[in-house]
Homo-oligomer: A and B are copies of this chain.
Amino acid sequence: MTSSAAPFNILDALAAWARRFEKTLDSMLTPEADVPPRLAEAMRYAVLDGGKRIRPFIVTRGCELCGGTFEQAAPAAVALECVHAFSLVHDDLPAMDNDDLRRGRPTCHKAFGEAIAILAGDGLLALAFEILATRIPDPARAVQAVAELARGTGWAGMIAGQTNDMLGEGQTPDLALTRQIHLQKTARLFEAAGRLGAICAGAHTPLGDALADYGRHLGRAFQIADDLLDVTGTADQMGKAVAKDADAGKQTYPAAVGVTASREAAQEAALSSVRALDVFGPSADDLRALARFVVERRK
């Protein structure tokens, strides 16, 4: 006897959720009269481009798992996506990773020029904090959210990771350094996603810790999978250039330990992320499915 329910598909769930989220994103990225149109255009180009939206999904679902609502989580979800988009715009610059293509479209500096791209990235970072401070009604939660996002982004977080990523180019592949880069460059913002969900719900610390652990391990899994896709994917699948890491002499898991051990490490990290959700029971099944998707994705 088979169940009459269709099997749960995380991509369908993400897509359904994203229809709602994209409207929120669009609305919070609507400029007022004083914003230069060209700047607003570049900022919106960088954010409203059909990314996978994994980080804001974690924020809003994490908030709901803690008893909060989508609406309560929306400012933090949008702010986090603004920070993510800012990091892509600046990382793609000629002085950084020098990428021409992102999600199948010209990168921001290719479409708008370098000066506007630098300013658009800066503008998205500032906007993220403006959104947290002006759209989260409870001051204590707002200030916690700012602290969490600023630390996750800053000189000991994502920006540290990008720095170590740049400085590690051309050096002998090293697993410890690669792990450190992954933790800072990617896992730290995923961790913030989990923690922000709990903060927006006003949840107790243990729930925030569980979601932060989930996010951190998921972020590690995501970045190892990303390293692998640069080796095994095609540009068509990915919507961006591939095999660039090896050319640039980047610190990556495949370079440090090979493809097979990298696949195992990604699976292990995904498993750790799933385990962190135990406290939430079956209601967190979509976040568990997300962990599987992250390591099995083809783009």
Interface residues of A (CB under 8 A from B): 31-32, 34-36, 38-40, 43, 86, 90, 93, 95-96, 113-116, 118-119, 121-123, 125-127, 129-130, 132-134, 139-140, 142-144, 146-147, 149-151, 153-157, 159-160, 162-164, 166-167, 184
CB proximity of A126 to chain B, nearest CB, Å: 4
Instruction: Determine the chain B residues whose CB is within 8 A of the CB of A157 once the complex forms.
Output: 126
Judging by beta carbons under 8 Å apart, are A38 and B167 in contact? Answer: yes
Judging by beta carbons under 8 Å apart, are A123 and B38 in contact? Answer: no
**Contacts A126-B153, A139-B143 hold; do A34 and B116 have CB atoms under 8 A apart?**
no
Q: A86 — nearest CB in chain B belongs to which residue?
A: B122
Cα of A157 to Cα of B116 in the assembled complex, Å: 15
**Contacts A125-B125, A133-B143, A146-B129 hold; do A159 and B39 have CB atoms under 8 A apart?**
yes
Instruction: Determine the chain B residues whose CB is within 8 A of the CB of A39 once the complex forms.
Output: 155, 159-160, 163
Instruction: Determine the chain B residues whose CB is within 8 A of the CB of A130 once the complex forms.
Output: 146-147, 150-151, 154
Partner of A96, one of B90, B118, B127: B118
Instruction: Determine the chain B residues whose CB is within 8 A of the CB of A156 once the complex forms.
Output: 31-32, 34-35
CB proximity of A208 to chain B, nearest CB, Å: 16
